[in-house]
Chain A
Amino acid sequence: MGGGQRADRRRRQAATRATASGRAVASARTSTSGSADRTKVITAIAVVLVLAAAVIGGVLWQRSRSAPPALTQAPVSAAYPVALDGEVVVAGKDSAKVTVDVYEDFLCPACGSFEERDGDKIEQALTAGTLGVRYHILNMLDDKSNPPGYSLDAGSAALCAADAGIFPGYHASLFANQPREGGRGHTTDQLIQLGHDLGAGDSFDSCVRSGAHKTAVSAQLQAALADPSLRRPGPDGGQYFGTPTVVLAGSVVDLSKSTWLDDALRAAAG
């Protein structure tokens, strides 16, 4: 009897102990998951704060570093006559035997390369009176500057420069100091300052500031985009308009051929 009772008591005690320890573990687990949840929430908030700091830091850093690029006067030896024919800048002498239409955007990198390679030759031919150029200034890449709109600002200012009689130097200076695509363009103040450096009067100021020629630049772009004869075949076989485009005697010039101007002048002379 005694042995059986003792065994029974032991068993009961063990069971009580097991239940107690089980309860303890359960309660420990509850408190653990509570503090783990708190840790998770705090961690999540910390992550959100880190990401918010990254956003604010990025925007502030971008703002602090994006000073506008320098805009200085480019040396221009040429002195060719310029007139405005509606929205088109007509450069060169009336007696010129060869006349080309040039479609350009002041932000377009390919236009910058084109001017760097052929600009001097074109200016010399304009000055010599052998070549006439009809410049169509476009705002093709308005959304490619940060902030957007440099193409339009610069194009409009260049037409103001034509009004002020300083187009040759202005045009050359804008391409010589071309801003990077995706970067900040020259400011309105810089565009005005360049005009004054080149000898423009006070009316140039208000012309640039009021964006007097902006409508004309946009109209030129729309006209160019709508003109099928200005399109070239793209790599996929479609027809596309791009800048720079040079049109000679009704057909688009292949600018990859670097002798295109010499060839045209020679053909006209001979």
Chain B
Amino acid sequence: MGGRRAAGTLATVVRDVVGTLARVGLAAVWLISGGLKAADPSQTYLTVSAFDVLPAAAVGPVAAALPFVELAIGVLLLVGFGVRPAAVASTVLLVAFVAGVGQAWARGLSIDCGCFGGGGPVDPSRTRYPQELARDLGFLLLAVWLVVRPHTLLAADALLVGRPAIAEDGG
């Protein structure tokens, strides 16, 4: 009986640690990618536009908002506030990215300016599609873990749900 409980506790601790690593890892991904995008708005605009999915009028607002949405999700995950909703937002964003890269690949888009020497599909970009997809799917795995099991260590969420737990002890 005692041994089984100890085993259960150990599994919980392992899951908590895995979840915490996923949370902090995903937070780092968003903070870095959001930071890089925010630092170079012109490039962000070109990147969004190159996917050739959005109507021209939507490219500007999306390119303007995207870096800050990524940064916000990164901060939420880092402090562990609203881990599940933040993970849901991460999932939605990552699915959109995977779809964007996938459709660019499928349509054989030339993700280049069409300028001198750059017109049409370029060798490096072609070979990078699978890696980009694999990387995004890896991040998606982290996000889905946190959607399914948002409980992690050192999260601000614990402070909020912690209060009723203390009330239960008192009653």
Interface residues of A (CB under 8 A from B): 24-25, 28-29, 31-32, 35-36, 39-40, 43-44, 46-48, 50-51, 53-59, 61-63, 65-66, 105, 108-111, 113-114, 140-141, 143-144, 146-148, 180-183, 234-236, 238, 240-244, 255
Give Cα distance in the complex from A59 to B38, angstroms. Answer: 12
Q: Does B106 contact A (CB under 8 A)?
A: no
> Is the Cβ of A32 less than 8 Å from the Cβ of B168?
yes
> Is the Cβ of B119 less than 8 Å from the Cβ of A110?
no
Give Cα distance in the complex from A40 to B73, angstroms. Answer: 17
Q: Does B2 contact A (CB under 8 A)?
A: no
Residue of B nearest to A243 (CB): B115
List, in ascending order, chain A residues with CB within 8 A of B157's CB. 43
Instruction: Known contacts A54-B68, A146-B63; decide if A244 and B113 are in contact (CB<8 Å).
Output: no
A contact patch SS:
helix
Instruction: Known contacts A29-B168, A35-B164, A146-B42; decide if A59 and B65 are in contact (CB<8 Å).
Output: yes
> Is the Cβ of B120 less than 8 Å from the Cβ of A244?
no
A-B pairs with lowest CB-CB distance, top 8: A110-B116, A62-B64, A182-B42, A240-B119, A58-B68, A242-B119, A182-B46, A47-B82
> Is the Cβ of B56 less than 8 Å from the Cβ of A143?
yes
Instruction: Known contacts A53-B72, A59-B64, A141-B114; decide if A43 and B81 are in contact (CB<8 Å).
Output: yes
> Is the Cβ of A182 less than 8 Å from the Cβ of B44?
yes
Per-residue interface assignment for chain B, residues 52 to 73, with 1 indicating a CB less than 8 Å from any chain A CB and 0 otherwise: 0000100111011111110111
Report the interface size for chain B: residues with CB under 8 A from the other chain.
49
List, in ascending order, chain B residues with CB within 8 A of A141's CB. 113-115
A-B CB contact pairs (8 Å), 22 listed: A29-B168, A32-B168, A35-B163, A43-B85, A44-B82, A47-B85, A48-B85, A53-B72, A58-B69, A59-B61, A62-B41, A63-B64, A108-B113, A113-B116, A114-B116, A146-B42, A182-B44, A183-B41, A235-B122, A235-B123, A236-B122, A238-B121
Q: How many A-B contacts if CB must be within 8 Å? A: 148
Q: Does B126 contact A (CB under 8 A)?
A: yes
Give Cα distance in the complex from A177 to B116, angstroms. Answer: 19
List, in ascending order, chain B residues with CB within 8 A of A143's CB. 49, 56, 59
Query: Within residues 58 to 106 of chain B, which ones have a CB less than 8 A from any CB in chain A?
Result: 59-61, 63-69, 71-73, 76, 81-82, 84-86, 89
Instruction: Known contacts A51-B69, A58-B64, A59-B64; decide if A43 and B82 are in contact (CB<8 Å).
Output: yes
> Is the Cβ of A109 less than 8 Å from the Cβ of B85?
no
B contact patch SS:
helix
Give Cα distance in the complex from A54 to B56, angstroms. Answer: 21
> Is the Cβ of A182 less than 8 Å from the Cβ of B115?
no
Question: What's the least CB distance linking A132 to chain B, in Å?
Answer: 22
Give Cα distance in the complex from A24 to B167, angstroms. Answer: 12
> Is the Cβ of B120 less than 8 Å from the Cβ of A234?
yes
Give Cα distance in the complex from A141 to B120, angstroms. Answer: 14
> Is the Cβ of B171 less than 8 Å from the Cβ of A146?
no
Give Cα distance in the complex from A148 to B167, angstroms. Answer: 59
Q: Which of A31, A32, A110 contacts B118 (CB 8 A)?
A: A110
Give Cα distance in the complex from A44 to B109, angstroms. Answer: 37
Q: Does B1 contact A (CB under 8 A)?
A: no
Q: Which of B56, B114, B123, B160 contacts A242 (CB 8 A)?
A: B114
Q: Does B161 contact A (CB under 8 A)?
A: yes
Residue of B nearest to A180 (CB): B42
List, in ascending order, chain A residues with CB within 8 A of B59's CB. 143, 146, 148
Question: What's the least CB distance linking B103 to chain A, in Å?
Answer: 17
Q: Does B9 contact A (CB under 8 A)?
A: no
Give Cα distance in the complex from A238 to B120, angstroms. Answer: 8
List, in ascending order, chain B residues with CB within 8 A of A235's CB. 120, 122-123
Give Cα distance in the complex from A31 to B171, angstroms. Answer: 11
Q: Does B117 contact A (CB under 8 A)?
A: yes
